[in-house]
Amino acid sequence: MYILSQQLKSDGFNINTLQQIIERNNGNRSFNTLQYYCIYIVFKHAVICVEGTDYEVEGPNLIFIGPSKEIIYKQNDEEANTFVIAFSASFYEKSANDSLFLNSSLFFNLTENITITPTIVTEYDIKKFAIDRLALYKSHERGLYISIAHNTVETLILDGLLNISNSSLKSTAENFSSIDYVNRFRIQLHSDFKSHRSVKYFSEKLFITSRRLSEMTEKVTGKTPKQLIIEKVLSESLRLIKHSTKTITEISYEMEFRDEANFSSFVKKHSGKTPREHRASADIFKKNSEEVLY
C-alpha cells in the first residue's frame, strides 16, 4: 500500500521525485492514487502501467492521472528527476473554474486511463519555481504556502489544457454535473468496494437515485455502475492473486466473499480463468523473467 506522507495528509498537497516515493515505500513500485489527483512531470523515457495498460512516455511530458488508479512504474530512465505532484480535490477546488478543470478530460479522460500532454517546463523550472519556491514559503505562514502550491498546480493544469481541444473542454463544461458525480462515485467505490457492492449503496452515498447514477455513468463512461463495481473488485482480486503471497482462501476473505468457492466463481465468470489458473500464469511469467535477468 502506498505510504502517504504527513504533508499530503495534512495539506492535501505534496511534490516529490519518483525516486523519493519508491524509497519511502521500501522499493515498492506499485501504487494506487487513492482519492488524489496526480501530475507526473517526465523528462526522460518511461514506461508506466495504469489499470493494466502500459504507456510509453518520452520527455518532456506531463501525465495527468485521476483518483483510484492502480499504477506500476515499469521503467524510468531518470527517477531522481521525475517529479510527482499529488493533491486532493479539497485542496485544489477554490472556484468554479477549479472544479471544471479538475473534472475535465485531463484527469477524467473518457477513452484512456491517463492524459499525456507535451510541456515547455524544464527541470530547472521545476526545481527553481516549484521545489525551491515551495520550500521558501513552507517556512512562512501556512496560508501563503497553500496559495503557492495551488498556483503551481494551476500552472501545470493550464499547460495541459493548452494541448486539448476547445471542443473537449466545452464538452466537459456541458457534462460537468455528470462527470462530477461519476468521479465521486469512483472515489467512493475505491474506499468501499470490498464491503459494499450494490448500486443502491453508492447512489445513497451520493444522495441520488440508482437510476440517476446509472444514467450518468453510462453517459460518461459507457458502462453501468454495476459494471464499474465488478471491474474494480476483479482488478483488485487479480492484483492480489498475481502479486501477493497470500493463499486464494486468504484473498477471498480479504475481498469479503462468503467463501473461496464463491470467490473463485466470481473470478472465473468475469475473467475466464480461475484464481489458481491466474496464479499459475503469473508464476510462469515470474520464472521466465528471472531466467532473463539472471
Where along the chain do its domains lie? 8-123+133-166, 175-293
> Using an 8 Å Cβ cutoff, are 220 and 178 in contact?
yes
Question: What's the helix, strand, coil split of the chain in %, to 5?
Answer: 55, 15, 30
> What does DSSP assign to residue 58?
P
How far is the C-alpha of 40 from the C-alpha of 63, rounded, in Å? 5
| Helix axes of 260-271 and 275-293: crossing angle, nearest 10 degrees | 70
| Closest by CA position to 66, among listed 291, 221, 263 | 221
> Using an 8 Å Cβ cutoff, are 188 and 217 in contact?
no
What cell does 230 get?
465488478
How far is the C-alpha of 111 from the C-alpha of 221, rounded, in Å? 8
CATH of 175-293, one of 1.10.1270.20, 1.10.10.60, 3.40.50.2300, 3.40.50.150: 1.10.10.60
Cβ neighbour number for residue 287 with a 10 Å cutoff: 9
The helix or strand, by DSSP H or E, that contains position 197, with its residue range, turns out to be none
Confidence at residue 132, expressed as pLDDT on a 0 to 100 scale:
85
Which residues, given as ranges, of the chain have pLDDT below 50? 1-2, 167, 285, 287-294
CATH of 8-123+133-166, one of 1.10.8, 1.10.1060, 2.60.120, 3.60.21: 2.60.120
pTM of the model: 0.65
Confidence at residue 125, expressed as pLDDT on a 0 to 100 scale:
86
